[in-house]
Structure 1
Amino acid sequence: MCFFDQVMWTCGDWKWDRFRQHCNREYRTGETCGMKLVYAVARSNDKCKICQKIDAKLRRRSAEVAKIQRWQSEGSKLKASIERSYEIVKDLDQEIYQLQIEKQRKTQAIGKSR
């Protein structure tokens, strides 16, 4: 039961940070016992990396949708560009879905280890 700092992001995700203190169960110098306890929680105003990736992909997706709407309102001169943007939106939807699944798996894995 060694003590570590913990970083908590605004999205609710967290990670173990640096080692702080040995417990009295550990007798080998420089090693930890394997059990982690929270020494202090550092709250971050940012989101975790997965949430940042999701946000970036959502921004890119909305930009592509805006392009499609603009091109369609101008007329159907740019059919190839519109089709390409639809493919980009479809790919971004798939990537966002995969990132959400990854975040959900990570959250479930943490819940099982408690």
Structure 2
Amino acid sequence: MRRQAGFALIELMIVLVIIGTLASVAIPTYKNYIQDAANNACILEANIYARKVYTDIQLRKRAIDIPAPIAKACNVINNSEKVVTMTSFVSNARSPGNATITCDLNAGTPCSITALSP
């Protein structure tokens, strides 16, 4: 009698169940990972802009010499308007991020996530 080569249907079904189970755990974890990465990139970008503006204001640079924000990781920084006084401003992370980030120049430029949208 000759032995058949290959896999039985039950073996293939077990493999598919295992792959499906792993995917159901991995996909949400990956989604959270890329969302956190987008939020962190925006907070870094907002921090860099806040530190630049804070330094320029401390050096008493003219308002015309202070740069407007250029958002790449953030969807928008301070509605694309330049910051020329010691104040706070808001940034929103670009998709897939979901964070609203507030930077307070009066506190010395720390930026933090103040809200997460669903």
Question: What TM-score, normalized to structure 1?
Answer: 0.43
Could you say which structure has the larger radius of gyration?
2
Question: What TM-score, normalized to structure 2?
Answer: 0.41
